[in-house]
Amino acid sequence: MLPKSIIGAGIGYIVALLSSSFMPEFASLLLPVLGIAVGSLLSGKRPTVPPLTPPNTTDPYAHAQSQQPRPSIDMRPAQQSQPESQSRSFASSGPSISMAPPSQPQQQLHQSQPQRQATAQASGSQASAPQAVQVNPLFEPVLQYLDVLEDMIISEGQKNNLDNEIVEKSCSLFLRLQRVIPLISELHNDEVNHTVKRLVLKDLNGVISPFLRLSGEAKSKNRRVLLNGLKDVDSKISDIVRTIEHKDLLELQTKAELIHQRYANS
């Protein structure tokens, strides 16, 4: 596009040619100059619009703003995002809890605990079984009858048909017999076995059973007879115990003498 000063000069030149016939020559020469001046004035009055240029990228502030990330707008509802954030924060802060069912080895471990306990009890009973003394079958009815006599004495004592002294001494004798009989079985002495069996089934039974059939007054009068009978049975048991202790003592002395001779000669 031509500048307005040139356009004004052209217009002034054309006007000078047209008016040269009736205007002086110097005035006609001034018309182009006047057109240039008028064009320059017109071009100076109207503001020029600066060209649209991109922003200066050398400005550090504008460059920093252009590099800042734009905030992402979450279009999800607040009710859904809040539980998710809470669950995420809980999962990140607290320990992880597995909701999966336990694996098969763990189930077998939990299920096998009662079985292992039963196995341990069975093994313990098997381990202690050899330590238990095998009672001679001859004494099985003797032990059963001692239990029957004990129940009868305790029952009569609860009914106040027997005094405390008879109940205590009778139960004490029964308990002593139950402890001594396994030791007597280890002797393997037929004579002692027969003596103990007769002592319980005949002598002890012959003292207690008739006394329990007496009336209350007869029991009070004859209570000393029962106590003396219990004392005699207990004395016989003491003799048998001394026999067992004597046997153990002889065995101890024999073993000790053998050990002494073995290591003294070496």
DSSP string, 187-210: HT-HHHHHHHHHIIIIIIHHHHHH
According to the model, what pLDDT value does residue 246 have? 82
Instruction: Give residue 247's pLDDT.
Output: 81
Are residues 34 and 142 located together in one domain of the fold?
A: no
Please check whether residue 174 lies inside any domain of the structure.
Answer: yes
Predicted local confidence at residue 24, as pLDDT: 67
Q: Which residues of 110-142 are buried (b: 16+ CB within 10 A; e: fewer)?
A: eeeeeeeeeeeeeeeeeeeeeeeeeebeebeeb
Cβ neighbors of 114 (< 8 A, separation 6 or more) are none
Structural domain containing residue 223: 137-265
Residues 6+ apart with CB under 8 A from 205: 145, 149
Q: Residue 234 burial by CB count (10 A; 0-12/13-18/19+): exposed, middle or buried? A: middle
Collapsed DSSP state (helix, strand, coil) of residue 256: helix
Which pLDDT tens digit goes with each residue over 96-120?
444 444 455 454 444 445 555 555 5
188 — alpha (psi -120 to 50), left (phi > 0) or beta? left
Residue 194 belongs to some domain of the structure:
yes
What tens digit of pLDDT does each residue of 232-257 get?
A: 999 999 988 888 888 888 888 888 98
Q: How many CA atoms lie within 13 A of 185 on its CB side?
A: 17
Is 223 a domain residue?
A: yes
The contacts of residue 133 (CB under 8 Å, 6+ apart) are 182, 183, 185, 186
Tokens linked to 79: 């009710």
Residue 104 lies in a domain: no
Specify the pTM: 0.47
Q: What is the pLDDT of residue 99?
A: 47
Would you say residue 114 lies in a domain? no
109 within a domain of the structure (yes/no)? no
Task: Identify the pLDDT of residue 153.
Answer: 93
**What's the pLDDT score for residue 82?**
47
Q: In the prediction, which pLDDT does 174 show?
A: 93
Kindly list the distances between the CA atom of residue 256 and the CA atoms of 34, 186, 247, 250, in Å, as whole numbers in the listed order: 158, 21, 14, 10
What is the token pair recorded at 58? 């050398």
Kindly give the confidence (pLDDT) of every residue in the chain, 266 residues in length, as a single tens digit, with 9 standing for 90 and above.
Answer: 456 667 766 776 676 666 666 666 666 666 666 767 766 776 665 444 444 444 454 444 444 444 555 545 554 544 444 444 444 444 444 444 444 444 554 544 444 455 555 555 555 544 443 345 577 788 899 999 999 999 999 999 999 999 999 999 999 999 999 999 988 888 788 888 899 999 999 999 999 999 999 988 899 899 999 999 999 999 999 988 888 888 888 888 888 988 988 888 76
Q: What is the DSSP letter of 132?
A: S
Would you state the structure tokens that stand for residue 55, as one six-digit string?
Answer: 């922003």
Same domain assignment for residues 35 and 143: no
Q: CA angle, corner 248, sides to 171 and 174, nearest 5?
A: 10
Based on the fold, state whether residues 143 and 259 are members of the same structural domain: yes
Residue pair 216/161 in contact (Cβ under 8 Å)? The answer is yes
How many domains are there within the chain? Answer: 2
Query: Is residue 147 situated within a structural domain?
Result: yes
Q: Is residue 106 part of a domain?
A: no
